[in-house]
């Protein structure tokens, strides 16, 4: 039986949540994955700690949190890409991420070699 796009998206969300918990030590409040053409877009909500929100009161704190969180994700991105590849069977050509220090939301984009 062939998997639906929705079941791939659900599996990706579950894998990203597992990676966040195991690699970063805590998981997001919610995760939503969407497959659009040759991209997998993952939205994670509730990723910042109360202490991180407090640090984000000024520009220096925002820069520190964004840089630190970005470095943490980049240091483990190969495991994350491997998890997504194992679910989809699609080659990942690039990975992009950013977070909002205002909303505590992270976006991840996995760019695939070809359309899903």
- Rounded CA gap, 24 and 16, in Å? 11
What integer pLDDT is reported at residue 116 of this predicted model?
A: 84
Q: pLDDT at residue 48 above 70?
A: yes
Report domain extents, the chain.
Answer: 5-111
At residue 31 the predicted structure's pLDDT band, cuts being 50, 70 and 90, is very high
Q: Quick check: 101 and 56 in contact, CB under 8 A?
A: yes
- Rounded CA gap, 69 and 52, in Å? 10
The pTM for the full model equals 0.91
Q: pLDDT at residue 2 above 80?
A: no
Kindly state the average pLDDT of the residues 100-104: 91
Q: Which two tokens stand for residue 71?
A: 């470095």
How far CA 83 is from CA of 1, 20, 27, 53, 115, in Å, comes to: 21, 12, 16, 29, 18
């Amino acid at each position: 039986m062939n998997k639906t796009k929705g079941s791939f998206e659900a599996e990706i969300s579950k894998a990203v949540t597992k990676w966040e918990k195991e690699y970063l030590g805590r998981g997001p409040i919610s995760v939503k994955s969407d497959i659009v053409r040759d991209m997998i877009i993952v939205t994670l909500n509730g990723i910042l700690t109360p202490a991180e929100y407090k640090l984000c009161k000024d520009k220096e704190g925002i820069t520190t949190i964004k840089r630190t969180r970005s470095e943490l994700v980049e240091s483990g991105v190969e495991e994350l890409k491997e998890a997504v590849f194992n679910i989809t069977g699609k080659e990942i050509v690039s990975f992009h991420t950013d977070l909002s220090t205002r909303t505590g939301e992270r976006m991840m984009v996995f760019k695939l070699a070809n359309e899903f």
